[in-house]
Structure 1
Amino acid sequence: MRFAVSCGDIGGIGPEIIIKSVQRFYHLNKRFSYILNLPYDIFVEEYRTAGADFPYYVVRELEGLKLPFHPVIILDLPAGKIEKNRFGKDSRAGGDISYMSILRSFEQCRKGICDAIVTAPISKTSMKLAGLKYHGHTELLAKLDKARFHSMFFLSDNFVANLFTIHIPVNQISTKITKPELRKFFLHSLATLKNDFLIRKPRVAVLGLNPHAGENGLIGKEEKNVLSPVIEEFGTYMYGPFVPDAFFANSLYNEFDLVTGMYHDQVLIPFKMLNFNSGVNYTSGLSVIRTSPDHGTAFDIAGKNCADPSSMMSAFLWAEKVSKSRKKSFAAS
Structure 2
Amino acid sequence: MNKKQNIRVGISLGDPNGIGGEIILKAFENNQMLELYTPVIFASTKLLSYYIKTFNLNIKIHGITSLDDVVEGKVNVVRLIKEPFRVKWGTVDPIAGELAVRSLKAATEALKLNQIDVLVTAPIHKESIQSEEFKFPGHTDYLNQELDGESLMFMVSEDLRVGLLTDHVPLKEVPVQITEKLIKTKIGTIKESLKKDFGIVKPRIAVLGINPHVGDNGVIGTDDQETLIPVLEELRKDGTLIFGPYPADSFFGNKKHLQFDAVLASYHDQGLVPFKTITFGAGVNYTAGLSHVRTSPDHGTGFDIAGKGDANPSSFMAAIHTAVTIFRHRTMYEEISANPLKNLSKKRR
TM-score grouping bracket, smaller chain normalisation: over 0.9
Aligned to 1:254: 258
**Whole-Å Cα distance in 1 between the matches of residues 83 and 88 of structure 2?**
13
Matched, 1:323 2:327: yes
Q: Residue 345 of structure 2 aligns with which residue?
A: none
Question: How far apart are the structure 2 equivalents of 1:67 and 1:249?
Answer: 47
**Match in the other structure for 1:151:** 152
For 1:158 and 1:69, the matched residues in 2 are separated by 32
TM-score by length of 1: 0.94
Partner of 1:114: 116
Tell me what 2:282 maps to.
278
In structure 2, the partner of 1:177 is 178
**Is the 2:70–2:76 contact (alpha carbons within 8 Å) kept by the matching residues of 1?**
no
Cα deviation, residue 69, structure 1: 5.0
8 Å contact kept, 1:122–1:136 = yes
- Which shifted more, 3-12 or 218-227? 218-227
Please tell me whether residue 56 in structure 1 is matched to residue 61 in structure 2: yes
Q: Indicate the SS of the match to 1:194.
A: helix
The 8 Å contact of residues 28 and 34 in structure 2, kept in 1 or not, is answered as no
Determine the C-alpha separation between the residues in 2 that align with 1:137 and 1:122: 8
The aligned counterpart of 1:78 is 81
- Of the three residues 43, 48, 52, the one matched with 1:38 is 43
Cα separation, 2, equivalents of 1:29 and 1:266? 37
Output the amino acid matched with 2:177: K
| SS of corresponding position for 1:149 | strand
- Cα contact 1:291–1:316 (8 A) shared by 2: yes
Distance 1:124 1:50, change over 3 A: same
**1:174 CA displacement:** 0.4
1:301–1:66 Cα change, 3 Å: closer
Which deviates further from its counterpart, 223-232 or 67-76? 67-76
Deviation at 1:43, TM superposition (A): 0.2
Once the 2 structures are TM-superposed, how far is the Cα of residue 158 of structure 1 from its aligned partner? 2.9
Identity rate, percent: 35
The match for 1:198 is 199
CA offset at residue 28 of structure 1? 5.6
Q: Is the 8 A contact 2:207 2:243 kept in 1?
A: yes
Contact 1:57–1:73 under 8 Å retained in 2? yes
Tell me the distance in 1 between the aligned counterparts of 2:81 and 2:226: 54
Alpha-carbon distance in 2 for matches of 1:273, 1:213: 22
Residue identity matched to 2:178: I
Deviation at 1:219, TM superposition (A): 1.0
CA contact (8 A) 1:116 1:323 kept: yes
Task: Map Cα deviations across residues 98-131 of structure 1 (whole Å, 9 max, x no partner).
Answer: 1111111112222222110000000011112676
Q: Judge conservation of contact 1:155–1:279 (CA < 8 Å) in 2.
A: yes
Contact 1:34 1:71 in 2 (8 A): yes
- For residue 135 of structure 1, the aligned residue among 134, 137, 140 is 137
Q: Distance in 1 between matches of 2:27 and 2:132?
A: 28
Following superposition of structure 1 onto structure 2, how do residues 165-314 of structure 1 map, counting pairs within 5 Å? 165-235=166-236, 237-314=241-318
SS at 1:198's partner residue?
Answer: coil
**Quick one: structure 1 residues 124 and 225, their matched pair in 2 at CA, closer, same or farther if it must change by over 3 Å?**
same
Matched, 1:332 2:333: no
Alpha-carbon distance, 1:141 to partner: 1.1
CA contact (8 A) 1:202 1:257 kept: yes
1:148-180 Cα distance to aligned partner (Å, 9 max, x none): 411100011231001000111111110112212
User: Which amino acid in the other structure matches residue 297 of structure 1?
Assistant: T
Change (3 A) 1:86 1:131: farther
RMSD of Structure 2 on Structure 1 (CA): 1.7
8 Å CA contact retained: 1:23, 1:52: yes
Question: Bigger shift: 89-98 or 180-189?
Answer: 180-189
CA contact (8 A) 1:138 1:152 kept: yes
Contact persistence 1:20–1:50 (CA under 8 A): no
In the alignment, structure 1 segments of 5+ residues that lack a partner are none
**1:12 counterpart (18, 24, 40):** 18
Q: Does structure 2 retain, via aligned residues, the 8 Å contact 1:32–1:71? A: no
Q: What one-letter code is carried by the residue in structure 1 that aligns with 2:136?
A: Y
Deviations 1:208-251 (CA, angstroms, capped at 9, x unpaired): 01111111121111111111111122225110000001111101
Structure 1 residues 115 and 297 mapped into 2: Cα distance closer, same or farther (>3 Å)? same
Q: Report the CA distance shift for 1:67/1:276 in structure 2 as closer, same or farther (over 3 A).
A: closer
1:62-91 alpha-carbon deviations (Å, 9 max, x no partner): 3xx3565563211122254633x5111111
Give the Cα separation in 2 of the matches to 1:313 and 1:217.
45
Residue from 47, 52, 60 that aligns with 1:47:
52
TM-score, normalised to structure 2, is 0.89
